[in-house]
């Protein structure tokens, strides 16, 4: 579940005490997991800058909007992100998350400098949206007059039924003030992590898929929804991209993941695409 801002503050206080104390109380043998270790121990600023080589180029409209410190600050509100399983699993999950948000915000093209997969986090909001993404049939999270729920932030959060619960979980009014996602880099990263960590039945959370906690239902098995990076793509945008062999958008996501997995020195795992999966 996503944490509220008050929960984030409580976590930071307890985490600081735990981490400072644990340094003196115990020694963690090489190869084992210390759940209290921060994300910054797995993705340093140097690695972050290597992954996102061109995010602050003048060619990127979101120049300077996605700093490393904002990503780290946002991740502290989701203590289970990048902390489940062994080091390989942890690194693979982080690589998968960064790959997905890179596709959503890409500024790359086939002949781009350093290749198309060095151009993530170039955009902070959707370009030329075709609608205001208001599902008027959703009465639980009703649209506010005059507001657009177009894609914003690293995951390109879209639709009122996502802005509403994301805002409630993170401490802002996502329905009345959806612009917060493209005005605050920390909130932007938090919405992406909220989407990643939160189960939205019948969809599992992206997190559970990447850390091996996904248990397919009978419907999942019938739809060929097998665990792996391809299932994460299905969760994020399967209605438009999955069940289409060799779809270029899916291949772009995979390309980012393959580059990032190499930088994290891990394998990608199986089932990279959703070519033959039915969407949710």
Answer yes or no: are the C-beta atoms of 210 and 228 closer than 8 Å: no
Structure tokens at 171: 């401490």
Distances (CA, A) of 99 to 93, 184, 252: 10, 21, 9
Alpha helices in the chain (DSSP H): 5-25, 45-51, 68-75, 87-104, 160-170, 180-183, 185-197, 206-210, 218-222, 229-241, 248-263
Structure tokens at 78: 């989701």
What b-and-e string marks burial along 80-106, b requiring 16 or more CB atoms within 10 Å of the CB?
ebbbbbeeebbbbbbbbbbbbbbbbbb
Q: Is 142 exposed, middle or buried (0-12, 13-18, 19+ CB in 10 A)?
A: middle
Of the residues 93, 104, 125, 241, which is catalytic? 104
Known catalytic residue at 241: no
Cis peptide before 202 (omega within 30 of 0): yes
The string of DSSP codes covering 28-65 is: --TTS--TTS-GGGTS-HHHHHHHTTTTTSTT-TTTTS
Separation CA 47–CA 247 (nearest Å): 29
Q: Which residues are catalytic?
A: 104
């Amino acid at each position: 579940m996503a944490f509220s801002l008050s929960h984030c503050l409580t976590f930071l206080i307890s985490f600081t005490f735990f981490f400072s104390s644990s340094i003196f109380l115990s020694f963690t043998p090489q190869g084992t997991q210390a759940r209290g270790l921060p994300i910054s121990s797995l993705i340093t600023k140097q690695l972050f800058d290597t992954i996102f080589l061109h995010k602050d180029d003048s060619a990127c409209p979101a120049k300077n909007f996605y700093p490393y410190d904002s990503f780290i600050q946002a991740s502290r509100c989701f203590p289970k992100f990048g902390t489940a399983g062994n080091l390989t699993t942890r690194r693979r999950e982080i690589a998968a998350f960064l790959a997905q948000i890179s596709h959503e915000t890409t500024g790359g093209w086939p002949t781009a400098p350093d290749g198309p997969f060095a151009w993530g986090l170039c955009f902070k909001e959707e370009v030329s949206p075709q609608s205001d993404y208001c599902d008027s049939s959703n009465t639980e999270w009703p649209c506010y007059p005059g507001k657009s729920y177009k894609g914003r932030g690293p995951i390109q959060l879209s639709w009122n039924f996502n802005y509403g619960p994301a805002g409630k979980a993170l401490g802002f009014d996502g329905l009345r003030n959806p612009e917060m996602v493209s005005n605050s880099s920390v909130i932007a990263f938090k919405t992406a992590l909220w989407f990643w960590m939160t189960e939205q039945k019948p969809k599992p959370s992206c997190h559970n898929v990447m850390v091996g906690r996904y248990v397919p239902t009978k419907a999942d098995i019938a739809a060929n929804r097998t665990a792996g990076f391809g299932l994460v793509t299905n969760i994020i945008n399967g209605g438009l991209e999955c069940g289409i062999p060799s779809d270029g958008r899916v291949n772009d996501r995979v390309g980012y993941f393959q580059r990032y997995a190499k930088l994290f020195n891990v394998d990608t795992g199986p089932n990279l695409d959703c070519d033959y999966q039915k969407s949710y």
